[in-house]
Chains A and B, each alone.
Chain A
């Protein structure tokens, strides 16, 4: 139906002569050359050039000339634009205009009631993963959409980039105009850019189900595409198209700053330079953004204010949400100030009408008008490679321009007409006169009555004042249609009820209206309105949108709060620095042969421990009296899942050694700060336990406020997560899992074969790759396994019962690799002798059991027994809560087994350092080691101990006393923003309801129950309650 309507619509339009020659015509040819001359206009040729009182001449949809003066050749329709402006038509560089409606996303891995889709089921010789769709070409799919075009044209857009916003490799986009013409006519450029994202979109393929999986898939695709060029065995449209589209500009849709940096890592690995489409939070880390030297497409979709009047409900609005509400409108200005090349898009706006409001808000917040114009015209044209067609008003370009009442960004500016390819679209009727002003009404019953017309042309408002004995003020409604005017109002008294007047403009200089009307009693009246002067400014007439914008325009640049690092609750306004500090007179737990020293000092300098001993000289150091306090090395958590974005498990395949936690470190997780408050300084962030060979792990230091890359523990060995047990065999899943239980293995017997097969393949791969000139395809999954075989990557294996632990030790023996650590290892006490013989460490829970069947014989004496047998033993958390009490967990080895206090503390400090091969740098208080130091109020193993200070590399990231100040400042800042929100709501700004989202906490078992789709979906999806179900 829609298509037929559109076809009819097209037929009604006269064709311009640039139209499709090959198409048949129904009836007589009606070709018009569209020759127009716009005279007496202020022509803004580009952001840098304006011609006052000039003439724009167009023909056949193109600009024929732009010049000062008013000479118009014969044969042109002349439009007098005295006092008005002409601007280049705006370009929206990121839209799905004309694209088919995307189907809802398909499921992620193993979702309820969803079928397992290990490889693509799409017909045709495409690649294995449906999220890689470089074969998609917007140019082959788009269809002119007059409704959507009108929406964009109302905002002044004349051309757009159109893409299919679906998948990880998304294919190519096209540039189209918004003309109401045939598909052939509106195409400006067929293949403009190749598009990417981290979101699998509608792909039904199970893999990837996590962000790290998306990254791995994209990286592997680059390698596969390079290999594809060198071989002739495989025919693969996806890889072929991937290669073909590499020469185009590469546009990557990301979300926040961390996500931009993740994409940039890929860009650097493969020698690419992406253009980033973001969610507009670059202001949070503008220096890091500037350093990328990239171009950006940023949205004007600023968050709506929250309903915060109810103080209890308002608690559900996070500090970061509050701050982003306040600061997001400063983002365009921040980019401009930093000298970053960017374009603005209306993409992401829930209501197209907000475009100009938001753009003006951005300008109020510091964006220059010149930059705004460039970011909507010239720069998008350059980025999209269509500068020869659009972006400025010069001869030979498409006749895409807008006619406005004043300068484009002025609050009361009106866009009258938007011409696209020489085709007129009326946004707001270009009246010969502006009706605004004060009038004297006359007519029967209208004595002493004044009419004030305010608002904007296009949205006039009417106020009626009657003076004298029956004085009254009322608001009326006035509508203008060309020369016709209708007005109605209720004087409330004498008479009460609506008076409805109809009339027309009788004179424009001076303005005068006259007509007839109907009184409330049905009687009729003749009336006139005579102009007496301008409408009073800021009066009651100012209730229309123009007035609201006017109020904004007069506002000074708003005062905004400080940036915090990270952009989160408890962020620092300045990242703390390392301090040379001497702690005096403490009980010092050295974890060295000196043991526990009473009344001793610790000196830290330059991020390192300088000296430990009695009566150390302070020198220039800041002295901290630690009398009665205990000082230990920072706690090291061998098994953690904090500080990772968008999925901890890529459990969609049995072997996913290609995925890397390193790619998804989240430096903004408040649990980093909370764990510092528990004395933790180093965390080993592991992939989950959903599959036999999981992903590569990342060791981080809890440096609160730095960027993800700076959190990484420099120079540490790479590890990888393996897993045994119920999670891998999927035996503890509920029965309602449908046909998802088909992934091999489903038994411990199968698990052995997965390992044997993986390492067999890895060995064969290694052998063929070692041959000189080998063209064997690089396989990221096998690369990681080869690293294990070469003892360059180390295994930490999630494990429970003795049978499977024994099995893996035998597989390792026979395949020639080593297990570094068994993590969780709840039945380690049953095989401690075998572990010791192979020098395998054991990192376990202190006292967890009974949460599933394979922990039926997990005992709290496990740590003690392994330790006694001679296994390097540690206690880990696997839990954001427990991690901040690992000192207490260590103490449970005293409760259960009477381990010595010194050895107990080592379970969470020195021993995990040994397992992680970092004991030369951390884990004890030894001169030369990193100054990762914790000051405790009491014996650190005691339930009564409170963490007073935590230092990482000598930087005081946690200080209990300073935390109170920080909370106070945060509360004050939040309170200020809330007040601002309430005021903003009072001015009629859009609001949203506060909805508390509990942050998603990951444990081993956490499997994304839905694949994340587009960047916007990240937040909604990952903030779910996670049951405490340690696996």
Chain B
């Protein structure tokens, strides 16, 4: 098994193969010289595939991509990837990766602030670069993530982070890109006694309750918009933090699954003049017109999920990406939680059996996610001038049978692919004298 580990560490890495423990999984040093990967099948991320291709990068940027042999390899480190696959680094939006270490232990869960309206809290500074979970996720090709606050109505702001770094400062890829809002849902909970709510007459109905919550959001945004035009004498951190929504520098991610909630959320964004992204979007396939007309993309949460309703097509979550593809809606994908994001490539691959092409599935977690996060100018595809965020897999990276990440680069830095799990595997392989 040693061979695998050496491969995993990659050519430029100062290897410490036999040392164990998280503490020795070092953040990578900046790219020292040009690198050219040759002989690979290159999945550009925008649908194109280059067979027997090369990709060159220097100082963190892609300098050349093409078919055949690389034009200029002088002074470059050559990585022979013959028979292997090169992909843009996967991008994981809307996740708690880096914010939570153990789900059930409150002290390790740092993704939720108290209160309903917290547009001013930022996930950026809570991002734990030393999480033991992160190396297990990037080992499967996920190189960028959007750690996102949860809870309340407005949970806070998110940033895009690189999954390698000494601290949040140098791991930040793009700071404070979005505000996160959960759209109120009409909860028609049935009463315990079959069909009749326990609420006394005169108590507000679930619809009224939801409308009140929506009204609160609308007035907060209206005030924030006014605040952004001319700041009053008294500073308000919440209102101030929302300015970017109105000048287009930040997006509004709205969690909404039901068809009605999605329509409401999109219309709300239109009224407020903010760029909306729908997160979840279970019913998005029913309201594709409103999404398309308003250029609102959807971040699908999991394909590997059960349908909501007994009557739904048993494969509906598998088919959702294709339904949006057919309708011409921009869609991205995230998985669930934090540690499970290492399955992001498989969540994407899941849609292939149900209508998407493999390259469309790849785009879903590379270019599409980059577009949705507003980072597609610098990443999301393997194109000249973009950041060298990419990895080499021995086989098809969307399939469990073949995924095998051998080298990975973030802004040209060759990152460690070691992790706690590989180390424990090694430790117990030793115990049982397994080869």
Residues in A lying within 8 Å of B, measured CB to CB: 304, 312-313, 315-316, 318-320, 350, 568-570, 670-671, 673-674, 677, 726, 732, 734, 829-830, 832-833, 847, 849-853, 856-857, 859-861, 864-865, 868-869, 880-882, 885, 888, 891-892, 894-897, 901, 937-939, 941-946, 963, 967, 970, 974, 992-999, 1001, 1010, 1013, 1016-1017, 1019-1021, 1028-1029
CA distance A1020 to B314 in the complex (A): 24
Pairwise interchain contact B133-A859, C-beta atoms closer than 8 A: no
A994 engages B188 (CB within 8 Å): yes
Encoded as 1 (CB less than 8 Å from any A CB) or 0, chain B from 180 to 217 comes to: 00000000111111111000000000000000000000
Given the known inter-chain contacts A943-B346, A999-B310, please indicate yes or no for A1029 contacting B104, CB distance below 8 A.
Answer: yes
A943 with B400: CB separation less than 8 A = yes
Question: How many angstroms from the CA of A850 to the CA of B354 in the assembled complex?
Answer: 31
B290 CB to closest chain A CB (Å) equals: 12
CB distance from A211 to the nearest CB of B (A): 16
Task: Decide if B168 is an interface residue (CB 8 Å cutoff).
Answer: no
Q: Which residues of A contact B422 (CB under 8 A)?
A: 861
Chain B residues near A860 (CB, 8 Å)? 421
Q: Which residues of B contact A847 (CB under 8 A)?
A: 342-343
CB of A850 within 8 A of CB of B101, answer yes
Verify if B260 is at the interface (C-beta below 8 Å from A). Answer: yes
Interface pair A943/B399, CB less than 8 Å apart: yes
B166 within 8 A of partner (CB): no
Cα-based distance from A994 to B186 in the complex (angstroms):
11
Contacts of B310 in A (CB 8 A): 318-320, 568-570, 670, 999
Known contacts A312-B260, A943-B400; is A674 also within 8 Å of B105 by CB?
no
**In the complex, A942 Cα to B195 Cα: how many Å?**
45
Cβ-defined contact, B400 with A1017, below 8 A = no
Which A residues are CB-close (under 8 A) to B286? 312
Q: Does B434 contact A (CB under 8 A)?
A: yes
Task: Answer yes or no: B32 CB below 8 A from chain A CBs.
Answer: no
Q: Find chain B residues with CB under 8 A from A319 CB.
A: 310-311
Q: Mark B320-342, 1 if CB is under 8 A from A, else 0.
A: 00000000000000001111001
If over half of B's interface residues share one DSSP class (helix, strand or loop), that class is named, otherwise mixed; here it is loop
Q: Which residues of B contact A1028 (CB under 8 A)?
A: 336-337
Within 8 Å CB of B259, what residues of A? 312, 315
Once the chains bind, are B354 and A946 in contact (CB under 8 Å)? Answer: yes
Chain A hits for B353, CB < 8 A: 937-938, 943-946
Which residue of chain A has its CB nearest to the CB of B345? A943
User: Given the complex, which residues of A lie within 8 Å of B398, measured CB to CB?
Assistant: 943
1/0 per residue, CB under 8 A from A, across B286-319: the answer is: 1000000000000000001111111101110000
The answer on a CB contact under 8 Å between B194 and A995 is: no
CB pair A881 B304 closer than 8 Å: yes
Tally inter-chain residue pairs, CB-CB below 8 A.
168
| Contact (Cβ within 8 A) A943 B190 | no
- B350 to A943, Cβ gap below 8 A? yes
Asked if B403 is at the interface (CB within 8 A of a chain A CB), the reply is: yes
Within B391-435, the residues touching A (CB, 8 Å) are: 398-401, 403-404, 420-422, 424-425, 428-429, 432, 434
- CB neighbours of A946 from chain B (8 A): 353-354
Let me know if A868 and B432 touch, CB within 8 A.
Answer: yes
Q: How far is the CB of A735 from chain B (nearest CB, A)?
A: 8
Q: In the assembled complex, which residues on chain B have CB atoms less than 8 Å from the CB atom of A1019?
A: 190, 194
B346 touches A830 (CB 8 A): no
Q: Known contacts A861-B428, A945-B353, A1019-B194; can you find 20 more A-B pairs with CB under 8 A? A: A319-B311, A320-B310, A350-B196, A674-B314, A830-B428, A832-B428, A850-B101, A850-B102, A856-B102, A869-B434, A888-B346, A937-B353, A943-B352, A943-B400, A963-B314, A993-B188, A1013-B192, A1017-B192, A1020-B191, A1028-B337
Residue from A829, A852, A894, A895 whose CB has the most chain B CB atoms within 10 Å: A895
Minimal beta-carbon separation of B37 from chain A (angstroms): 22
Find chain A residues with CB under 8 A from B399 CB: 891, 942-944
Contact B311 A569 (CB under 8 A): yes
Among B192, B259, B350, which residue has the most Cβ atoms of chain A within 10 A? B192
**Contact at B133–A850, with CB atoms within 8 Å?**
yes
The residue of chain B having its C-beta at the shortest distance from the C-beta of A1017 within the complex is B192
Asked if A894 meets B400 with Cβ closer than 8 Å, knowing A319-B311, A970-B311, the reply is: yes
In the complex the two chains form, what is the Cα distance from A231 to B326 in whole Å?
A: 76
Please, could you name 9 A-B residue pairs with CB atoms under 8 Å apart, sorted by A?
A318-B311, A319-B310, A569-B310, A732-B105, A850-B102, A851-B104, A888-B400, A943-B346, A1001-B306
- In the complex, chain B residues whose CB is within 8 Å of the CB of A891: 399-401
Partner of B306, one of A674, A895, A974, A1021: A674
**Complex: A994 Cα to B311 Cα, angstroms:** 15
State whether A853 and B102 are in contact (beta carbons under 8 Å apart), knowing that A318-B310, A350-B196 are contacts in the complex. Answer: yes
- Whether A996 contacts B188 by the Cβ 8 Å rule is yes
**Do A995 and B196 touch across chains, with their CB atoms under 8 A apart?**
no
Considering only residues 354-409 of chain B, those with a C-beta below 8 Å from chain A are: 354, 398-401, 403-404
Residue in chain A with minimal CB distance to B429: A865
Which single residue of chain B is at the shortest CB-CB distance from A999? Answer: B310
A865:B428 contact, CB within 8 angstroms:
yes
**Bound Cα distance from A945 to B420, whole angstroms:** 31
User: Which chain B residue lies CB-closest to A887?
Assistant: B400
Docked Cα-Cα span, A881 to B316, in Å, equals 13
Closest B residue to A350 by beta carbon equals: B196
Q: Nearest 5 pairs between A and B by C-beta?
A: A995-B188, A943-B349, A852-B104, A891-B400, A861-B425
Judging by beta carbons under 8 Å apart, are A998 and B349 in contact?
Answer: no
| Interface 0/1 of B86-120, CB less than 8 Å to A | 00000000000000011111100000000000000
Contact of A850 among B193, B305, B309, B338 (CB under 8 A): B338
Q: How far is the CA of A1020 from the CA of B193 in the complex (A)?
A: 7
Minimum distance in angstroms from A416 CB to a CB of chain B: 33
Partner of A967, one of B103, B313, B337: B313
Residues of B within 8 A of A856 (CB): 102
Judging by beta carbons under 8 Å apart, are B421 and A861 in contact? yes
Contacts A861-B425, A868-B432, A881-B304: A895 and B403 contacting too (C-beta < 8 A)?
Answer: yes
Q: Decide yes or no: A1017 and B194 within 8 Å by CB, A869-B432, A939-B401, A946-B353 being known contacts.
A: yes
Residue of B nearest to A937 (CB): B353
Other-chain contact of B311, A880, A938, A974, A1013 (Cβ < 8 Å): A974
Assembly CA distance A885 to B404 (angstroms): 20
Q: In the assembled complex, which residues on chain B have CB atoms less than 8 Å from the CB atom of A885?
A: 304
Q: Please determine whether A852 and B429 come into contact, CB atoms closer than 8 angstroms.
A: no
Closest chain A CB from B432 CB (angstroms): 5
A852–B102 touching, CB < 8 Å: yes
Cβ-defined contact, B309 with A318, below 8 A: yes
Q: In whole angstroms, what is the CA distance A315 to B257 when docked?
A: 13
A995: chain B residues within 8 A (beta carbon): 188-190
Residues of A within 8 A of B313 (CB): 967
Among B258, B308, B428, B434, which residue has its beta carbon within 8 angstroms of that of A998? B308
- Output the nearest chain B residue to A857 by Cβ-Cβ distance: B424
Among residues of B, the one whose C-beta sits closest to the C-beta of A869 is: B432
- With A and B bound together, what is the CA distance between A967 and B307 in angstroms? 14
Collect the chain B residues with CB atoms within 8 Å of residue A865's CB: 425, 428-429, 432, 434
Q: With A849-B339, A851-B102, A992-B195 in contact, is A896–B346 under 8 Å at CB?
A: no
Cβ contact of A1029, chosen from B101, B103, B428, cutoff 8 A: B103
Given contacts A318-B311, A1016-B193, contact A833 B133 (CB under 8 A): no
Closest to A104 in B: B192
A833 to B310, CA, bound (A): 44
Give bound CA distance, A1028 to B314, whole Å: 19
Cβ contacts under 8 Å, B188 to chain A: 316, 993-996
With both beta carbons as reference points, the residue of chain A lying nearest to B354 in the complex is identified as: A946
- Complex CA distance for A319 and B310, rounded to whole angstroms: 8
In the assembled complex, how far is the CB of residue B344 from the closest CB belonging to chain A, in whole angstroms?
12
Q: Closest CB-CB distance, B303 to chain A, in whole Å?
A: 10
Determine if B432 and A832 form an interchain contact, defined as CB atoms under 8 angstroms apart.
Answer: yes
A1021 near B425: Cβ-Cβ < 8 Å: no
A677 touches B304 (CB 8 A): no
| Chain B residues whose C-beta falls within 8 Å of the C-beta of A864 in the assembled complex | 425
Q: For A829, list chain B residues within 8 Å (CB).
A: 424, 428
Q: Provide the bound-state CA to CA distance between A1010 and B192, in Å.
A: 10
